[in-house]
Structures are given as C-alpha cells and as structure tokens.
C-alpha cells in the first residue's frame, strides 16, 4: 500500500528584489490539500530578518513539529485503547542542527518532551510503554536518519 501526500510551496520576490543581489526575502507560503495556507520562511537563525520572518514557520521547526505531532497522535490512540483519559498533552520538542563529521550541516537529533495531564492516576509503567510503542510506530521518526529520543515529563 502506498499513499501520497502533497504540499505546494510558493515564493515571489518582493518589489525591487533581484536574486542576483542576494538580498531577497525568504518568506514564502506552504499550502496543503485541505486548503490551509501557512506563512513560511528561512530560519531567522540562518537568514537574519528582515530577509526572513520570525513569525513564519521554518523548515527546521516544521521537521521537529512533524515528529512531535506524529508521536502524539500515536500515543493518544494507544492511550485511548487502554482506557486512559487525557485532559491535556504538550510536547516542548527540540531539534539540534549542527555540522556532522562529513562537514554537512544537518538535524542531528530531536528530543521529544511529552507531558500529559490525566483524569485520575495513570500508571507510570504503562505510560512509558505507550510512549515507547508510539515511538516505534511513528512514521516520521521512522523516516529520519538521526536519533529521536523521548524524554517523558512528569
């Protein structure tokens, strides 16, 4: 079975901008099949504002969010099957971008820091097992070539 996912990425230069000057806006748009449009930009850590936008999503943030979101969705599904009632879930995930030994800059690791609030007590061993299984099932974590760690917050 194969499934396809699409996104449209669009960019246009601002008034009077020319690529040859190397001073052009990196702000662009992501559009998804459901119709939502998201402002996107190069990371302000890579391309300083005003040529980037701190208010927009950058590809590095999107990669970290994709991993965290995928993990959360699997965890919620597994928790629901075990009868856990979750009132809130938050993950302050963090990705690290650095130079690898081969000299290329890349995302080298992502740490998920999921924290859930339960209705009543939740067995810590069960929660850990569910996070472990969610990590094994996560499509996005299975697709990257760097470690993804899960540091469960209490």
Distance CA 67, CA 50 (A): 29
Same domain? 69 vs 145: yes
- pLDDT for the residue numbered 154: 81
Same domain? 96 vs 126: yes
Here the CATH number for the domain that contains residue 32 is 3.30.300.20
- pLDDT for the residue numbered 15: 86
- pLDDT exceeds cutoff 90 at 18: no
> Could you count the other beta carbons within 10 Å of the beta carbon of residue 52?
20
Please enumerate in sequence order all residues whose Cβ is within 8 A of that of 118, keeping only pairs 6 or more positions apart, or say none.
Answer: 84, 85, 86, 87
Same domain? 103 vs 144: yes
Single pTM value for the model? 0.93
Percent of the chain residues past pLDDT 70, beyond the cut: 100
Q: Determine the average pLDDT of the residues in 40-52.
A: 95
């Amino acid at each position: 079975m194969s499934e396809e996912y699409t996104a449209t990425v669009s960019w246009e230069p601002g008034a009077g901008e020319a690529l040859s000057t190397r001073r052009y806006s990196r702000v662009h748009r992501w559009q998804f099949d459901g119709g939502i449009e998201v402002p996107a930009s190069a990371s302000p850590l890579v391309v300083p504002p005003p040529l980037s936008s701190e208010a927009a999503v950058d590809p590095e943030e999107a990669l970290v969010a994709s991993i965290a979101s995928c993990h959360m969705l699997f965890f919620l599904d597994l928790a629901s099957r075990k009868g856990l009632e979750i009132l809130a879930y938050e993950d302050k995930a963090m990705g690290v971008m650095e130079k690898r030994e081969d000299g290329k800059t890349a995302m080298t690791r992502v740490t998920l820091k999921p924290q859930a609030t339960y209705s009543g007590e939740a067995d810590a061993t069960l929660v850990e097992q569910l996070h472990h299984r969610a990590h094994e099932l996560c499509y996005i974590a299975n697709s990257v070539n760097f470690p993804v760690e899960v540091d469960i917050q209490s």
